[in-house]
Structure 1
């Protein structure tokens, strides 16, 4: 299964808010064996949201969108997703019923709180008010991290793939000096390899076979200078 993650918010693009939602979602999806192939951040603009969601839903098995839910003037994500799917926004009776169970009457709610794309499945917000939505492989989640996490956990069984196993080897050598051994471990074992320089070089080994990645990591550790 391959997925695109779309985060929405002017504050993300301005650097006022760290995009922790994208990192968390990528980690959780990877744990489930899902390949995240795009992470895109968009402004609070209906046209941009509609264009990107429409493009990505044609390319990937699912699109996960976070941020911009609610009834305020800059909460435009549902409208953008509805436009991408060619749907109208409609008040969702199921979402209203959930909110009523949580103690919110219609009179309490700002207009538009429970408006979702026509035909969407409402996703209950256990940690907040604004509901999410799922339709045609597009999942719309809140931007508030605790709300997003709780909502994703309610649907995560819908995301699956082949688990990937990962081990890391730390080398206290320049990255350029390691190129021959990186090439050798790639040739010798069926693993993907990434190297990430810093104070030391972290060499990441990944495979869908747990034994293979363990053997590759052991082989490489014997051939690099590790930190003392």
Structure 2
């Protein structure tokens, strides 16, 4: 069976100043293409530490991928650690020099001697062209293992993995069979509830396996197995059991699904946000094509803005407060009216950690959806810290709209 090993380089990773998202992402990508990761190691910006980690990785795996430490500064020592592990010196690689010069010319930037240090590669190694940054990757071999060094900048690492690493792995003689894999995204259902409904499918040791990966506001279920037909059967069973909590299949997002539904139904939208502070608008406009349906967003945090901009009545605020069903209702209706949109969402609530009042604890959230058919207001009790409550409220609002649009589309069909 093919095996992979990941080495992450950087003092900032060891100190906790930076979270190592690269290793997590790489582990998933490598597993999918038939190179399950058998080990991960994090080392600081130290030449000897990098060299030792490379030797351990080469003993344990067929492919070793290193991220980080290829930059132009004095503490970027991955090149030198790789050279030490290989028992060679670094030397100027003219092909790498040409790549770096071309990148700086395209960017209209001045090339410095420090940047040319990135062209000093271990003797006998090969540069991996990086058209997204200044640091070339490096390809070499150690004790029969393929060594691939990549920049630590996440965007560059992901681009280079797709363009440079995966094609090499596709031709690797040790490559194993890629498992059949399907996934679904679930919103509005706790992991515990989904697990209860899928208990028989999630038994340990079962083929296919069903893995559960919770995020702040959504849950991803991944089905993997040796038989594609069995994986597909499990996928359909999951969709049937979880019902409309399933947002979509594959690499989908709630905001993308909602935007696609808005476009498909020809529905325009406005949002009025207090608690979520513009997060719903941010999610929607992150999707290409949103400009055809997104009319306006109002962040009305202060009560006077709710009244002056959205038309929330002072009597409503005096009698019920900003965190209330009537206020959410009038915010949504006001946003729809002012923007001239087909539908409008509104959020108001208590994100914490302070602000709780009698009968309204931290996490109390009201979400309103206004349309020509009337206004629907829901009360939620969300848990988590301030960021989590706001993120979950934004997701709950979009999910409320998703379900409404899905029903509308079904009725129209």
Look at both structures and tell me which one has the larger radius of gyration over its CA atoms.
2
Instruction: Give how far 1:185 is off.
Output: 8.3
Residues 157-185 of structure 1, C-alpha deviation per residue, up to 9 Å, x if partnerless?
A: 1123422214569661777x987774498
Does the 8 A contact of 2:69 with 2:75 survive in 1? Answer: yes
Does the 8 A contact of 2:201 with 2:210 survive in 1? Answer: no
Q: 1:56-95 to 2 correspondence within 5 Å?
A: 56-95=57-96
In structure 2, list runs of 5 or more residues that go unmatched.
Answer: 171-175, 246-413
2:154 is matched with 145
Residues 195-225 of structure 1, C-alpha deviation per residue, up to 9 Å, x if partnerless?
A: 6689999875420321112334556788x88
SS at match of 1:140: strand
1:210 is matched with 228
Between the aligned partners of 1:101 and 1:197, the Cα distance in structure 2 is 43
In structure 1, list runs of 5 or more residues that go unmatched.
Answer: none
1 or 2, which has the higher helix percentage? Answer: 2
Between the aligned partners of 2:195 and 2:111, the Cα distance in structure 1 is 65
Q: 1:121 to 1:226 in 2, by over 3 A?
A: same
Q: 1:12-31 to 2 correspondence within 5 Å?
A: 12-31=13-32
Between the two proteins, the alignment pairs up a number of residues equal to: 223
Residues 83-111 of structure 1, C-alpha deviation per residue, up to 9 Å, x if partnerless?
A: 11222111111111222333469973326
Between the aligned partners of 1:9 and 1:26, the Cα distance in structure 2 is 18
Q: Larger relative CO (CA 8 A, sep 6+): 1 or 2?
A: 1
Between the aligned partners of 1:29 and 1:84, the Cα distance in structure 2 is 24
Between the aligned partners of 1:143 and 1:184, the Cα distance in structure 2 is 35
1:108 is matched with 112
Does the 8 A contact of 2:14 with 2:44 survive in 1? Answer: yes
Q: TM-score, normalised by structure 2?
A: 0.46
Does the 8 A contact of 1:182 with 1:193 survive in 2? Answer: yes
Q: 1:91 to 1:59 in 2, by over 3 A?
A: same
* Superposition CA RMSD, Å: 3.5
Q: 1:200 to 1:90 in 2, by over 3 A?
A: closer
Does the 8 A contact of 1:6 with 1:64 survive in 2? Answer: yes
Instruction: Give how far 1:124 is off.
Output: 1.9
Between the aligned partners of 2:222 and 2:158, the Cα distance in structure 1 is 27
Q: TM-score, normalised by structure 1?
A: 0.79
Residue 135 (structure 2) pairs with residue 130 (structure 1): yes
Instruction: Give how far 1:15 is off.
Output: 1.8
Between the aligned partners of 1:80 and 1:158, the Cα distance in structure 2 is 23
Between the aligned partners of 2:55 and 2:211, the Cα distance in structure 1 is 32
Q: 1:7 to 1:20 in 2, by over 3 A?
A: same
SS at match of 1:101: helix
Q: 1:3 to 1:127 in 2, by over 3 A?
A: same
Instruction: Give how far 1:12 is off.
Output: 1.3
